Structure 1
């Protein structure tokens, strides 16, 4: 990657001359409206609210504009369902004006980890269905396509086969709502706590096959899957036909690529070569504080995006 071409308008770049035998770049962002980056990223990365607050301020709309100026063409917003309708409409209008894509938001009908679909309780299933219907209306306002679903906690007093059947039954109900609207719920296996029911890609693959709907697919979060199972590229290949969405985070630390052990450049190239052109959700923190950390984050993505 040519560092002098890192960002044309949003940053001021200073480099030593070639006669000194070395080159370096120091970057300073001027303003959220500084101008469009020299080029978009090869992969479609999606930042989230707060990721560039030190440069763009706390207003999410200003942050989205800043993201666009730096070459990003998507966003994520897990808490979108909990925003006011006015906020949702503003986000949708801003994305439409900039030609950006809305990534995932969470199908959140409460504490969706503890209110578990594994139990088979009708009240939980009814709440899930109600929330799915609300998500359809929200998706129309922001032109979204994908919604994250987490089935909840493992129930130790219920046999695993019964739990699996309960989850499949609920997910089929969700698919009946999403499928006519061309929407996709993406199931995310997680590593946050060991009590979660859905933890591996092969288990999630099995659930998708059982539901048997184009509206029930896998959200493959590389950070979580590195922690729970490893063997990332091989497992992506095994589950490929059921994967509809990816998220990013290095391990250990769950920060931007290049800060941990995961070879993101190889993963991005492999998935890109397989034909994926969807969103890569930037579901991670930042390794350094302040504006310096935000600049380092963008540089890290420029580095791993060159393949």
Structure 2
């Protein structure tokens, strides 16, 4: 799955899709609050559209469906682009269902152009303005994390200078976020899906976060991206642990649910759990099978991978 398409779909969608459960009503039905079917050991966070064939298009119905299946968190890359009314309705539903809001994308992502890397003051101010705007969104939906991607490399500028430019921009963003207890999480993205981006590896993200030196700047460790980029998942998680604020999930190849690719998610989840992680693991992946059958397969994959 191309992340650019993934984010674009989330920004365009005001629809909410649900996740299929065991014996639920027909798609599009208004869902009640049946007993939770599953009890997961970690806070896995589905996204809108993942379970649409069971829950229908309404975001509130989708959230209720997720909660009914035992999911205790939710993430939405496109939350910032939704209407205030929709944001408030979703926040109210999450509060009622005791669901924790995960990440949303905090700013416009520059996929092919330098952004924070080349030291352009106008682009830096644009970034900081968008971070400030995202604080209001975070407060409205009770979010504590927002995703930041520093942009493309500046090919004519030494990487040391680029790193300094990124660090300085992130320090200023941290000054905005710290008073509100909000954390931006930096996401390294793999070279295959996103060639040329500045931030690609977990050691690099670790170094940047150490340089920024703020509780409001941490790593989003996307297990899918890092399997492609560097592998060695558990040792790298351990090495970066103090700076990891958030995880995302996707198997490789295919970027679908756990058990569909090469990653031993049972072992990875067990390790993360053993370290006492209390945060969110966003389900930023597709469904390997279409329709209700595929939605049920996603739930079963998490039940299987969460058994340890």
> Does residue 105 of structure 2 align to residue 94 of structure 1?
no
CA contact (8 A) 1:115 1:124 kept: no
Alignment RMSD (CA, Å): 1.6
Q: Which residue of 1 aligns with 2:47?
A: 48
> Does residue 83 of structure 2 align to residue 72 of structure 1?
no
Q: Which residue of 2 aligns with 1:293?
A: 294
Of residues 32-41 and 87-96 in structure 1, the stretch that sits farther from structure 2 once superposed is 32-41
Q: Shift in Å at residue 111 of structure 1?
A: 4.0
3-state SS, counterpart of residue 148 of structure 1? strand
CA distance in 2, matches of 1:213, 1:200: 20
Q: Shift in Å at residue 10 of structure 1?
A: 4.7
Higher-Rg structure is: 1
Q: Shift in Å at residue 270 of structure 1?
A: 0.5
> Does residue 197 of structure 2 align to residue 181 of structure 1?
no
CA distance in 2, matches of 1:113, 1:219: 21
Q: Shift in Å at residue 113 of structure 1?
A: 5.8
> Does residue 22 of structure 2 align to residue 11 of structure 1?
yes
CA contact (8 A) 1:10 1:34 kept: no
CA contact (8 A) 2:170 2:212 kept: yes
CA contact (8 A) 1:45 1:281 kept: yes
Cα offsets for 1:75-108 (capped at 9, x unmatched): 0000111111111111111111111100000112
Query: What TM-score does the superposition give when structure 2 sets the normalisation length?
Result: 0.89
Q: Which residue of 1 aligns with 2:241?
A: 240
3-state SS, counterpart of residue 11 of structure 1? coil
Of residues 107-116 and 181-190 in structure 1, the stretch that sits farther from structure 2 once superposed is 107-116
> For 1:99-114, what aligned pairs fall within 5 Å after superposition?
99-109=98-108, 111=110, 114=113
Q: Shift in Å at residue 112 of structure 1?
A: 6.2
> For 1:1-307, what aligned pairs fall within 5 Å after superposition?
10-12=21-23, 32-33=31-32, 35-109=34-108, 111=110, 114=113, 116-191=115-190, 192-307=193-308
Q: Shift in Å at residue 40 of structure 1?
A: 2.4
C-alpha distance 244-118 of structure 1, shift in aligned 2 (>3 A): same
Q: Shift in Å at residue 155 of structure 1?
A: 1.1
3-state SS, counterpart of residue 129 of structure 1? helix
CA distance in 2, matches of 1:67, 1:248: 17
CA distance in 1, matches of 2:241, 2:109: 31
CA distance in 2, matches of 1:168, 1:229: 23
Q: Shift in Å at residue 139 of structure 1?
A: 0.9
CA distance in 2, matches of 1:33, 1:172: 45
CA contact (8 A) 1:10 1:37 kept: no
C-alpha distance 10-226 of structure 1, shift in aligned 2 (>3 A): closer
CA contact (8 A) 1:33 1:65 kept: yes
CA contact (8 A) 2:21 2:299 kept: no
CA contact (8 A) 1:48 1:282 kept: yes
Of residues 294-303 and 108-117 in structure 1, the stretch that sits farther from structure 2 once superposed is 108-117
CA contact (8 A) 1:145 1:182 kept: yes
CA distance in 1, matches of 2:305, 2:240: 23
Q: Shift in Å at residue 39 of structure 1?
A: 3.6
Query: What TM-score does the superposition give when structure 1 sets the normalisation length?
Result: 0.89
3-state SS, counterpart of residue 106 of structure 1? coil
C-alpha distance 60-113 of structure 1, shift in aligned 2 (>3 A): farther
Q: Shift in Å at residue 305 of structure 1?
A: 0.6
Q: Shift in Å at residue 169 of structure 1?
A: 0.6
3-state SS, counterpart of residue 162 of structure 1? helix
Runs of 5+ consecutive residues of structure 1 not aligned to the other structure: 1-8, 13-27
